[in-house]
Amino acid sequence: MTGSKPAENMLWGGRFTGGLDPLMITYNESIHFDRTTYAQDIRGSIAYARANSKIGILTPEEFAAIEKGFQQVLQEWEANTFVIKPGVDEDIHTANERRLGEIIGTGIAGKLHTGRSRNDQVATGMRLWLRDQLRILEEYLVSFLKVITARAKAEINPLMPGYTHLQRAQPIRWSHWLLSYGTAFSGDLERLRQLIPRVNKSPLGAGALVGNAFGIDREAIAKELGFDGIINNSMAAVADRDFIVETLQWASMLMIHISRWAEDLIIYSTAEFGFVRLADAYSTGSSLMPQKKNPDSLELLRGKSGRVFGTMTGLMMSVKGLPSTYNKDLQESWETMLDGVKTTSDSIQIATGVLSTMTIFPEKMLAALSPDMLATDLADYLVRKGVPFRETHHISGRVVALAEKEGMPMDKLSLLQLQGVDSRFGEDVMEVLGSYEASVEKRTVLGGTSKASVQEQIQRLEEMLD
């Protein structure tokens, strides 16, 4: 074929005598994205070479040369001087081994791959990289939760409406709202901590699919690389991408919570609410309207959630019908993993920045409360006098209807008017209608919105973070 490239330069080229379509070469290459794992690939190769030296495949001198050569390769990557050779460096593994051969000679470098396949090599690099990234994500999520708990502690007093169906429901503390998302994000942290050990299993030594023929010590390799153990079945080891799918599922759950949190704050930042104001660092203006201050950071967080969902579903569709062990379709897991992790990482950091710099306006939160939001408290008042709740609910509803009919707030109704609805209302009922603070302080149950309950929630969250 005109313009085709011989295959003999490829790691697998001995089988092929024809050439490759130039477009197929670029279509097949993964170096432009899997280069991200250059350090992990080198770490895995050094560990594998050490194991080969222990079983006599490499002499001590050959291993020393490989280790020293790889240190130079690593330095070149870190100094951004590593030169990728298009059409030759198909992936990060090919590139690193090719450069190693140039430094120490192909005779020694050519022994490195003995008993190893790119199938177990790529899976090892992905797991090492993802494990390291998930630990960073854990740190970011802990930092975000610390901001939530710190603000809840510092801003425990302000009262605001709680909403159901986006309709004002009952009074709550602003701190209680913060901790409602703190609870969701702490669940995400718990799931992340459960996920990391499942990612942190070594496939190295599984070969292409049947295992290593030279009796290499897989557990020693796993220990050197900081894995928690090995994947026991060699076929499963090279085929498994569940660890990436599960990571993206975890990230999608987290992004659902970030998206909902962002949506609340977008609403609360509008002029109609005015509960919060974003810092200039996380807002933009309008190209036409000078007065505008747009919550672009929150809108992007809301939008990026869809991107993460997309990477998850895309990968699941790619792997759902594959036959056993390695298939090239699995290369699709690279870009979804890289993009999903970066998007999630950036989103947690942006959310942390937004919350740590945001201003709240307690007076506007308080002004948004209205006496009709104490209707449940009015029903509870009669319950404490021995009236069944189903009856008190109906009575309280009649009081709400009376206030609407008279065109006045519930707390402005006279005792005579209230007793006209039900004679069991006493003079002390005016205390119920006169205090939002008293309403929230009645919610002393664990998880409630009273100050003591909120403080207990903060303590539990702080213990989890510590």
Question: By CB neighbour count within 10 A (0-12 exposed, 13-18 middle, 19+ buried), where does 423 fall?
Answer: exposed
Query: 407: which DSSP letter?
Result: T
Residue 175 · residue 156 · CB < 8 Å: yes
Alpha helices for 105-117 (secondary structure H): 106-109
CA distances from 171 to 31, 135, 162 (A): 56, 38, 6
Query: 187: which DSSP letter?
Result: H
Cα(257)–Cα(252) distance, integer angstroms: 9
CA end-to-end distance (rounded Å), the chain: 64
Catalytic residue status for 165: yes
155 Cβ partners below 8 Å, 6+ apart?
174, 175, 178, 360, 362
Tell me which residue of 124, 116, 126, 129 sits closest to 205, measured CA to CA.
Answer: 116
406 Cβ partners below 8 Å, 6+ apart?
413, 417
Residue 375 · residue 394 · CB < 8 Å: no
- How wide is the angle at C-alpha 331 spanned by C-alphas 328 and 336, nearest 5°? 150
Catalytic residue status for 93: no
Q: Which amino acid, one-letter code, is at 331?
A: Q
Cα(53)–Cα(1) distance, integer angstroms: 43
Which is catalytic among the residues 286, 324, 394, 414? 286
Instruction: Provide φ and ψ at 434, rounded to 5°.
Output: -105, 5
Instruction: Provide φ and ψ at 79, rounded to 5°.
Output: -90, 0
Question: By CB neighbour count within 10 A (0-12 exposed, 13-18 middle, 19+ buried), where does 41 fall?
Answer: buried
Instruction: Provide φ and ψ at 180, rounded to 5°.
Output: -65, -40
- Element of type H or E holding 133: helix 118-154
Tell me which residue of 358, 446, 343, 355 sits closest to 145, measured CA to CA.
Answer: 355
- Element of type H or E holding 19: strand 19-20
Which is catalytic among the residues 30, 45, 53, 165? 165
Tell me which residue of 158, 86, 155, 56 sits closest to 436, measured CA to CA.
Answer: 158
**Residues catalogued as catalytic:** 165, 286
